[in-house]
Amino acid sequence: MTQSNGAAEATDARPYPPGWPHLLADRLERLPGSIWVAYAVIALVAVLAMHLVPWTRDNAPIGTFDLPNTFWGILPVITLWLFRDVERAAATAFDAFRPALNLSEPELARLRYELTVIPDRLSLVITVVAVGFTLVSFALDPAGSDAVGLTGLPLVVVLVIQSFIVSVFFQLICQVLRQLRQIRRTVARSAVVDLFQPGPMHAFSRFTSRFGISIVLIVGFSVALVPTPTDFGSFLLSWAPYLVIPPIVVVIAFVVPLYGMHGRLVAEKEQMQGRRSSASRACLPRSTVPWTQASARGSAS
């Protein structure tokens, strides 16, 4: 039975229950067979569901598929997989960084859990906000939300899929911001810097750069495959949150670990140089004979 990397820690290291994306991913991984079979089935159902929109509008013959709706059907699986991948990558980065931490085992277990698992209450709040945001976009901009003329089952399908995507995506963003705060705090308070073995200090930099590349790819494919609204109001409501916020988070995620690690390494280097200078001065021989002007004249004579 496969467990969440963060949720696999002992129960006394769990300061809160995991959010529902962790539970959903755990449930899928417990199914018989490969997890990719479950992802493929979910993607197929979602793609068919998204094509109910053009089929019920008579915009396309039943049984035909298009790239935008196919992409929207696959995107829930992509976001859930990315959420799980970030969880595992954070756990791997923490395990690599662990030798540089001066913490007890219970503290390490708790920190690992907090770095990899989003709290259930925060997950629920983000989900409620995501559903509300989707409903508002449907009401204020039905054209940009592709909800024009939808009723009944097609409307419910589009609402559920878009809410799922928005919820998981922004839980991912929020979790990475939480991780950055934890990384910065941990590096400042508990990291032991070794200039001769700096590898652990760069573990989180590799993790955040991996996250950044994944977000850039998702945003890039979204822009390339899904037509963006030409109306500025529609663009601002339906697209701007996904095209503006993620790149900002990516930049922050890339800079914060590098800046924090660089600061600690520079500080440790300066301290080492100071210790060497003090040791060198202590080793210099000191004369035990007072060297006065009179003794100098006596030596000269």
Tokens matching residue 64: 């035909």
Average pLDDT, the chain: 75
DSSP, residue by residue, 218-245: HHHHHHHHSPPPSSHHHHHHHTHHHHHH
User: pLDDT value at position 225?
Assistant: 72
Give the CA angle between residues 137, 45, 65 to the nearest 5°. Answer: 80
CA distance 189 to 184: 9
User: pLDDT value at position 56?
Assistant: 83
pLDDT at 238 over 60: yes
> Helices H, strands E: what count in the chain?
11, 0
pLDDT at 284 over 80: no
User: pLDDT value at position 181?
Assistant: 80
pLDDT digits (tens, 9 = 90+) for 195-235: 444 444 556 667 777 777 777 777 777 777 776 666 666 66
pLDDT band at residue 6 using 50, 70 and 90 as cut-offs: very low
pLDDT at 256 over 90: no
CA distance 65 to 30: 32
Q: Higher model confidence: residue 70 or residue 142?
A: 70
- Specify the amino acid at residue 109: A
Q: Comparing 5-19, 47-61, 236-250, 252-266, which segment has the lowest mean pLDDT?
A: 252-266
Tokens matching residue 280: 């060198």
List Cα–Cα distances, 235 to 25, 224, 250, in angstroms: 32, 15, 21
pLDDT band at residue 135 using 50, 70 and 90 as cut-offs: confident
Handedness of CA 166, 167, 171, 174 (dihedral sign): positive
Q: What is the mean pLDDT of residues 260-273?
A: 54
pLDDT at 263 over 60: no
User: pLDDT value at position 270?
Assistant: 55
CA distance 301 to 57: 116
Q: What is the mean pLDDT of residues 147-167?
A: 83
User: pLDDT value at position 175?
Assistant: 87
Side-chain half-sphere of 249: how many Cα atoms within 13 Å?
Answer: 27
